[in-house]
A and B are shown apart, each in its own frame.
With several copies, the nearest count.
Chain A
Amino acid sequence: MSDQRIATDGSTPQTKDEESAAGERVQTDVSNGFVIEARGISKVFPGVQALRDVDLTLSRGEVLAVVGENGAGKSTLMKILAGVEMESEGVIKVDGQQVRIGSVDKALDLGIALVHQELNLCPNLSIADNVFLGREKLVKSVGGLEKVVRLVDKETSEAETADLLKKVGLETRPDTLVRDLTIGSQQLVEIAKALSINAKVVIFDEPTSSLSGPETERLFAVIKDLKDHGVSVVYISHRLGEVKHVADRVLVLRDGEVTGQLSAEEITKEAMIHLMVGRDIEKFYSIKHKISDKVRLEVRDFIVPKQPGKPINLKVHAGEILVLAGLVGAGRTEFAQALYGIDQPWAGRIFIDGREVKVNDPIDAIRAGMLLVPEDRKLHGLVTEMDVVNNITLAGFKDRLSKYGIVDARQAREVASRMIKELDVRLHSMDQIVQTLSGGNQQKVVLGKWLSMDPKVLLLDEPTRGIDVVAKEEVYKLMERLAEEKVAMLVISSEMQEVLSIADRIVVMCEGTVTGELLPDQYSEENVIKLATETTRHG
C-alpha cells in the first residue's frame, strides 16, 4: 500500500498544478462567498492516513461531485464536514466563519446534512420518528412545563414527513415502521431525513448504490429542486455516468489527496478516471469468451421463500455470465440466498452438472461447488475482525485445510498468499485485520475465499456495489477468466451500465419471479425496465 502511495505521488505533480488552476477559476466565477471552505484537512485512522491536506470549497446552489477510488477518503471527508468524525487538522469555514464542527448537532446547527453511505435508521421506529430523530417536533405547551417535560408532537411530525415522502417519491404512511421497508425505500427515507433539516448544504454519500433507475431519476429531480432553492449539494458516487449528469463541478480524491478538480464543461468519464487512477484505463470491453452448451446450473420450479412468486426455471451454462436484473426488492437476493441454502425454498429442484443436489445449508451448496458472493460484504461476506488469511481460508478448513480436525496452518497461508497474489489484494500483511482494508480490497478477499474452493457455479450478488472503477475492472477481468475456466456465473446487478456490458444473457426479475429474458441483440435500458416493472400478479 505504501509503495503504491509513492507511485501515485510520483505521478501526480503536474495534475496537481492543473487542479489548483482549475480550482482558482471556479472560485473566481462564483461571486457570492463559499458556503463551506475547508482548507488543509487531514484525517488519520489507526493504520491509515485517510485524508492528507485536502481543500474543499462549496458555493451557494452548487452541486459538487466528489469521486475517487475505494478508500480515497470521500466518506471520511464528508463525515468530517457533518461532524461525525473529527479532523486531525485543518481549517473549516462556514459562511466565512471559522468553525470547529466536531459533533453532529453542531453540523446540523450550521445547516449541514449528510446522507450516509450505509443506512442509519432505527428499524423499531416509524418513518416519521426516524426522519425527525434528534430534532423531534415538541408539543408546544405541557401546562407550562414544556421547558422540562419535552414531549413529541406526533401529528406535526407525521404531517411534515408525509410531504417529504411525497417529495422523494415514497408512497408509504409516515407511521410505518422502518423495519417493514425494503432497502431501497429505506434509502429514500434517509434522503427525506436529510431534506427535513432544511439544510443549506446536503451531502449524499453514494445514495444510488441501492436505488433503481426510476428512484434515481427521482433523486436527481430532488437535487435539482434543492439547487434551485439555493441549497448546495455534495454528491458522491462511483457511477460516473450519474456524476456527469448532476454535477456542476467535480473534486477528485486519490489516497486521501486531491488530485484535481473539473468544472462543468470539463467533466468527462475519461478525465475523472484519469485523475482518480492516475492513468487512462480502457473502456468497458463487452466480454467475449465462448460459452459451452453444457448446462452447469439448472433450477426447476423454484419458489423464493421470502418473496414467493411464480415458479422460476432457468439454466446457466458453463462459462456463461447470466445477469439477474431488476429493481431493488425484486427478490433476487432472496433467490440467490435460497439457492445457496440460507433459506429453504418453498419448492424447487437444483441441478449442478446434471446431478440434482439437495441444498439445506450453505455447506451443501459449497460441497456441490456452488458459491455465493453475498450482497453485503461486511455483514455476510467477511469476519471483519479476523485477519485476511483466516477470512480467505475460512470455508476451506473443514474439507481441505485440515487433518483429523486439526488446521494445517502452513497450507492455509500458502493458499491465502496465492489468492492475494492472483487477485492483487492491496495490504501490508496477510495478518492484517480485514476491517482496515478499503471496500474494493475487502471484496477481493471475499472473492479469494471462493476462488480457493475452485467453484463450478458462482452466485455474485452486487459484486461491484460500492467499489471503484479500477476494482470493478479487476472484478470483470476475473469474471472473464472464470468464464474461460468454464465456471457458470449468476450475477445480480442493479447498475444498468454493468448489466448491459457484462451479461451474456439477461434475466429480469420482479416480485420474486422471472418476468423475462433478453439476448444481446435485445439489450436496452428500456427493455430491462419494462420487464423489471412488469407485474405478474392477477388481482
Chain B
Amino acid sequence: MGNMKRIAGISILLLVIVTITAIIDIRFLSPFNVRNVLRWTGLFGILSLGAAFVIVTGGIDLSIGSVVAMIGTFSAYLMARQGVSVALTLFLMLLLSLALGLAHGLLITKVRVQPFVVTLCGLFIYRGMARFVVGDMTQGYGTGFLGLKNLVKSRFPQTFWPGTPPEFIVNWSIPMPFMILLILAIILAIVLNKSVYGRHLLALGANERAARYSGIHTHRVIIIAYMISASFAGLGGLLFSLDLNTVQPSASGQMYELYAIAGCVVGGISLRGGEGNITGVIIGTAIVRVLYNSINIAGIATQLEFAVLGMVILIGVSVDEIVKMIAEKRRIMESADPEALQRKATA
C-alpha cells in the first residue's frame, strides 16, 4: 500500500516532467524522440533491474559500469576480431558475467568483505582487464552481425510486420531494448513478489540473521542476487556495444553503476535493503532518462545536466522521507483516543 502510494508519486513526477517538456517543445512527444527515450530507458533499465536485486539484500554493486565495458569489449573483440561464433561468444560472456557475480557473492558471504569494497575493487579490476586484453583499442562490429544488431535496432511490431507496415505502426513501434526490459521486468517481478526466492530475499534484506534462523540459505540467496546483477550488467554491455556499434574499453560504461543505483533510488527502493519494487525501478529509470532528454530539449546548459539530475534525485528522496514522517505523525493522531485529543485541544 505504501508502495502503491510511492509508485503513484513517482508516476506523477514523471508525468509532470513529461508535460512541462512537451509544453516547452512539443517535438518531445514526436515518435522519433519517444523511440529514443524508450530505447535508452530499456538499455539503462536493464542495469537498474539487476542493481535492484543487490540493493534489496542491503548490498550495493559498484562494478556494473566496468562489467558493461568488459563484456561489451570482449563481445566485439571475440566476434569481430577473433571470428568466434556468435553463439559461443554469447555463451562465454554469460558464463563470464555469472562468474563475476559468483565471485562477488562468495567474497561477501564467505570472506565477509563488505559489498561496497568487493564491487569497488571489481570496478577497478574489470575495466583494467578489458583495456589490457584489447590494448586499449576501440572495438567494433563493422557492418556485419545484422541479426545480432536487431536485438537493439529492431522495433516491435514494425520489424515483424508481414509486408509493409502502416504509417502508425512505423511511427509507434517499440524499440527492442524496451521490449527486452519489459519482459525481464515481468519475470523479475514474479521472482521478487511471488517466488520463494523473492520471499527469502526480502526477509534476508530486512533481517539476515532471522532469515538464517528460519532455515533460509542466506548465503546462497545473496550470491544469486549478485549473479543476477552481474549478468544483467553483462547483457547491458552487449546491447550498448551493439547499439553504438563500437566500444571504447577505457570510456564506455563509466559511472553507469551510479545511473543504475540512481534509477533504483528514484524508483523508491531504499538502500537499507528489504524493499523491492520492480515497477518503481522502471519508472525511476524512465525519470532519469526523460530528465536528460528534457534538459537537452529545453536547451538547459549541458553543464547543468548532472546538476539537475542530482537535484531531482535529492528532492525526490527527501520528499519521500518527509512524506513518511508526516504519515507517521498522522497515524499518531489517529491512534490517540478521542478524549486525549480533545484534552490536547483544550490544553
Contacts and interface: CB of A to CB of B under 8 A. Distances in A.
Determine whether A and B are in direct contact in the complex, meaning some CB atoms lie less than 8 angstroms apart.
yes
Interface of A: 40, 42, 44-49, 52-53, 84, 88-89, 103-105, 107-108, 114, 116, 120-125, 129, 133-136, 138, 149-152, 301, 303, 305-311, 340, 342, 346-347, 361-363, 365-367, 372, 374, 379-386, 390, 394-395, 397-398, 402, 405-407, 409, 449, 511-513, 536-538
Contacts of A536: 337
Contacts of A407: 194-196, 198-199
**8 nearest A-B pairs in the assembled complex, by CB-CB distance:** A105-B215, A134-B214, A308-B336, A104-B215, A308-B340, A120-B210, A46-B331, A347-B347
29 contacts: A44-B332, A44-B335, A49-B337, A52-B340, A88-B336, A88-B344, A89-B347, A120-B210, A122-B206, A124-B274, A125-B199, A129-B199, A133-B200, A133-B211, A134-B216, A309-B336, A379-B207, A380-B213, A383-B203, A383-B211, A390-B203, A394-B199, A394-B214, A397-B199, A398-B196, A406-B196, A407-B199, A537-B337, A538-B338
A405 B196 contact: yes
A125 B332 contact: no
Interface residues of B, number: 39
Contact of A342 (B211, B213, B340): B213
Contact of B340 (A48, A310, A365): A310
Most B Cβ at <10 Å: residue of A124, A301, A307, A310: A124
A537 B339 CA distance: 10
B337 A122 contact: no
Interface string B319-347: 00000000010011101111111011011
B81 interface: no
B93 interface: no
Nearest to A151: B194
A382 B210 contact: yes
A347 B343 contact: yes
Given A89-B343, A347-B344, A104 B337 contact: no
B275 interface: yes
Contacts of A124: 202, 205-206, 274-275
Nearest to B337: A309
Contacts of A152: 194-196, 199
B196 A151 contact: yes
Chain B contact residues: over half helix, strand or loop, or mixed?
A: helix
Contacts of A363: 215-217
A52 B337 CA distance: 9
B207 A47 contact: no
Given A49-B335, A380-B213, A123 B196 contact: no
Contacts of B196: 136, 138, 150-152, 397-398, 402, 405-407
A442 B67 CA distance: 44
B209 interface: yes
A22 B197 CA distance: 49
A138 B274 CA distance: 22
Interface string B179-213: 00000000000100011111110110111011111
Given A308-B341, A346-B347, A397 B213 contact: no
Contacts of A129: 199, 203
A132 to B, nearest CB: 9
Nearest to B274: A124
B215 A362 contact: yes
A105 B333 CA distance: 28
Contacts of B338: 538
B341 to A, nearest CB: 7
Given A49-B336, A308-B337, A402-B195, 11 more contacts: A89-B343, A105-B215, A123-B206, A124-B202, A133-B211, A134-B215, A308-B340, A309-B336, A380-B213, A383-B211, A394-B199
Most B Cβ at <10 Å: residue of A40, A49, A122, A346: A122
A383 B213 contact: no
